[in-house]
Structure 1
């Protein structure tokens, strides 16, 4: 029992540290021009209007994405049982690795989690996390993979990024000595290459920042403000479709009424129901944009990705943590959250189970 508890705690510590560092890495003040660039630097995606305006088959695409997600994730939650004493195999539909799997398969799950996160772009440059975090040697943060890129010159990092080196692009995104336009371009390239972490996070916060800049400049809610907000929510939905919560976590930080950045500019208050309905179109057009440029570099369409088992487990753990840490903010943004409450944010039995484990450990 004590071994199992320690395994659960180690998993939750990893997910928790990763969540909090990622959450803290959101830059709500990155709207100052760098190297002569404008804070309203327009991304390639936005300049073409593809993040907002729908193509004729957009609605059908969005429905397909939802059904695919639900069919996979519901299998995990229905079959997982917290009361079963029989250990599952790694390839079974387990929910909590430390409870459902043998010790050997648990460590396999942890290894595959690190590989999965790295594949999706999670690799933190060196951060001052404090002594408490250093005890855990930054588990699962993949710092060792980007350390050589941190030591490269800016010109060398640009050269590698221009050759579609994902780790170079990931490092560039996190470096504040690059301009906003350079980081936006790197973020879009990362999305094309399959990233859903720092690239998606940066584009989300960039869209929200630009909504605020436009509002400050004009002194009123304009159609441009609304377009930026819809585009940001499109990034959130696209991330959720691909089993990633980075964009959602960024959004929740911006709209937190106690510590957030947007205040009355939050989409919850600015967008009406008809405008919120455009979010599905924005998400589908983000996918169309990505696939268009993937085809140019001879990559298969993004929807052809086959998610590994660990992707669903990691997604459920992140959602459980989001529910635990952001319950008030989720309630305060109920109209926006309702866009996904029956699909990507559904509180499934597995998520409920993980949430109960969090609460039990917290009480203990």
Structure 2
């Protein structure tokens, strides 16, 4: 009798249990509707926060909406918030996605896409689009420690801020490739990343008994309330040293030109002219150079119709530290004094003036190849200059000249 009861119970219970185990046809639709409602709520929250001027909260809401599902329109609005909030270097990829994929069927949508384009141009001026070209497909690639090649492509574009960056690529069977490059703001560039295969060393086979695979793993849960993806304003990047951001290394040549002002050309009044020079940058701390310059006195000696000028060449040996440099100078030139025909019998005198001295200055790198520098120098000459008319000494200049110059330079 007991067995009969058990069988009857099973027959009665089993159909209902089977019915409960089968998924409802509406469950999947309900899940998709719930996801869509959450996405729309976060996107609308981002719109409201942006309209209220709370850019950090708007960026967080847009980022959370994109974590629910991707939408090019929301990506573009997040990019505009980043530009408005002072983080333009993080916005170009989001804005480019919106420019290409956001809807533009209505006038309002077309106007918003135009704003996406304008914001992208503002953001692009703060960095560079870089085409990373990996020699082998399937490699894991990071740019400044962030994964940039989930699809394992052999070439892809990414946006980076201006300055120095590092690319690392890893692939089974190959050595890790590390490439450092300097991005110039507003200029696109290509960076090749070559991978080198591991060298196979033939070794005698040695049997090593397998050890018990034991490991102790500890779980640590810590960190900020929001990730950088959800709150892009949470982590401020440390500024890089501008003196080393675009520094080039190794032997290279340079050429410079610019105006010069010289004091001590038969008078303490300024003599104005130009200089041109060139040389070799042996390394980042040492350079040698040759320079030619000429300068003409802007007024007459002792306010008389007497002209004076200097012309000559200098050799320099300079030491460099960051922006600053100091040089030892050797000078060989002439100082020429000319009496004009307005008040005197025309005559001119030129004396060769060898000398030596020093220079200090500062050099600022504008681009990878162009620099601007300013310098001041002092030269001690072999003798001074005395200008005499009859029994009157108009000028008795000591054997020293001071110079100030500013100019541009090119490295190659």
Range into which the TM-score falls when normalised by the shorter chain: under 0.3
Q: Structure 1 or 2: larger strand share?
A: 2
Higher CA-based Rg: 2
TM-score (norm 2): 0.21
Higher relative contact order (CA 8 A, sep 6+): 1
TM-score by length of 1: 0.23
- Which structure's residues are more often helix, by fraction? 1
